[in-house]
A and B are shown apart, each in its own frame.
Chain A
């Protein structure tokens, strides 16, 4: 199996705060890894390191065969990595000045020099795939939160990434819209997309994840198959966390 992400002894600090502690983590191609943990535990920071939105201080990181060195890293490998890694944000971060379709067309046209007709066809296909083909010419602000997040997923998919990062994709959504976004993610997982997902949706983690990772204060304290981690957690901090989030 190909390893898409390889982290070894990764450490990250925000000033004096040690936010990631000796992280060792590999993600295989096709694997869905769900990262859980309390707010401020470093789980978002961890996946933001994968596409270089955050720098790290020490250790090694390899993404899709490209080494991303600590600190600023090598700009060339950073550019290569970002072409291969899609990201979906908690706040969607759609481009409000562009229509839904143009949001999706922008990167293929600018980064891959895709002709407009090709980019247009890709955008339409992806919008249909996430179930909002009829909203292509609207602006993001005219869509519901759930629809916006589905556009954001389509936008990332337009670059045909080898790995998708999801940073709390449903945390900013009204409860009734969470399902539609999780459905799209579930489909994506089923089709074999490699995914790293930071989420508080334990039901999704249990159902879709190949592996669940629990992070506590910047360190991986437990990982394994969902039913092992959820039903039989070994570490007492995992037990404490799960009893808190699964209690209600």
Chain B
């Protein structure tokens, strides 16, 4: 018996139009989620370095919970579990965006905390000594410098979150992997299709890396 596998280029090419339909969902879930995650990250990240324990404690709890549990469990919990609590279904897209938001928010909180804490205390002292309020000092002196240092880890988180959306095929969001699964169910060309799926993820993450390098270089040039 002879077995010879041959990569079917035609099958790969044929799958592209169908697979590409998943990209808007992948991008919507990841960037929608990341945008909310960034807001959560600023909020909880700043709370986590507050002097008052009753502000710090809930932030730490949030960070530990969403960093310490798998995102797959989180999205299953939101999609299958939460409807029992709120008494109505949640659509898969919303569940996906929520999962990315909450999960990336926890990691971004740590990025924000680290970024802010890395700025020398002398900067705050200089701001205060000039008569700026604590709030003014933070937003015009500390934050712009901290944000610049946060760009590389934020980019890292964006890439992680984009890839995390591939797990959401389990709740039936028509993102890249889900599209691939549907296509394979009809054509049985798993090797070719997952190969194309992988290439499409790579295309997204590489574009992002390139954009980030550019932003980083411009940001650093002015420091």
> Which residues in A have some Cβ–Cβ distance to B below 8 Å?
51-53, 79, 82-83, 85-87, 89, 91, 93-97, 106-107, 110-111, 139, 141, 152, 155-156, 159, 165
Other-chain contact of A141, B127, B128, B223 (Cβ < 8 Å): B223
* Cα A165 to Cα B136 with chains together (Å): 22
**What residue of chain B has the Cβ atom nearest to residue A141's Cβ?**
B223
* Cα-based distance from A233 to B189 in the complex (angstroms): 95
**17 new A-B pairs (CB below 8 Å) besides A93-B123, A110-B132?**
A53-B129, A79-B133, A82-B128, A87-B126, A91-B120, A93-B126, A94-B126, A95-B126, A96-B223, A97-B145, A97-B222, A106-B130, A106-B132, A106-B141, A111-B136, A139-B223, A152-B126
Given contacts A96-B145, A97-B148, A106-B140, contact A139 B125 (CB under 8 A): no
Q: A157 → chain B, closest Cβ, in Å?
A: 11
Query: Tally of A-B residue pairs with Cβ under 8 A?
Result: 66
Q: How far, in Å, is A67 (CB) from chain B's closest CB?
A: 18
Of B122, B128, B131, B148, the most chain A CB neighbours within 10 A belong to B131
Smallest CB gap from A83: residue in B: B131
B144 within 8 A of A: yes
Q: How far is the CB of A125 from chain B (nearest CB, A)?
A: 18
Q: Are B223 and A159 in contact (CB under 8 A)?
A: no
Taken together as a complex, chains A and B put the C-alpha atoms of A33 and B223 apart, in Å, by 36
B interface list, Cβ under 8 A from A: 120, 122-123, 125-133, 136, 140-141, 144-145, 148, 222-223
| Residues of the B chain whose Cβ atoms lie less than 8 Å from the Cβ of A87 | 125-126, 129
Task: Give the distance to chain A from B188, nearest Cβ to Cβ, in Å.
Answer: 56
Cross-chain contact A89 with B125 (CB below 8 angstroms): yes
Among B130, B140, B141, B145, contact of A159 (Cβ-Cβ < 8 Å): B130
Please report whether the interface of chain B is mostly helix, strand, loop or mixed according to DSSP: helix
Instruction: Tell me which residues across on chain B come within 8 A of A91, comparing CB atoms.
Output: 120, 122
| Cα distance A219–B188 in the bound complex, in angstroms | 86
A51 to B129, CA, bound (A): 7
A88 to chain B: closest CB distance in Å? 9
16 A-B contacts (beta carbon < 8 Å): A51-B128, A79-B131, A82-B131, A85-B129, A86-B129, A89-B125, A95-B141, A96-B223, A97-B223, A107-B132, A110-B136, A110-B140, A111-B131, A111-B136, A155-B130, A159-B131
Give the distance in Å from the alpha carbon of A108 to the alpha carbon of B65 in the complex.
44
Min CB distance B196 to A, Å, is 43
Contacts of A111 in B (CB 8 A): 130-132, 136
- Given the known inter-chain contacts A110-B132, A156-B130, A159-B130, please indicate yes or no for A95 contacting B123, CB distance below 8 A: yes
Give the residue of A79, A89, A139, A159 whose beta carbon is less than 8 angstroms from that of B126: A89
**Chain B residues within an 8 Å CB radius of A155:** 130
Of B129, B132, B148, B222, chain A has the most CB atoms within 10 Å of the CB of B129
Minimum CB–CB distance from A117 to chain B (whole Å) comes to 19
- From B133, which residue of chain A is reached at the shortest CB distance? A79
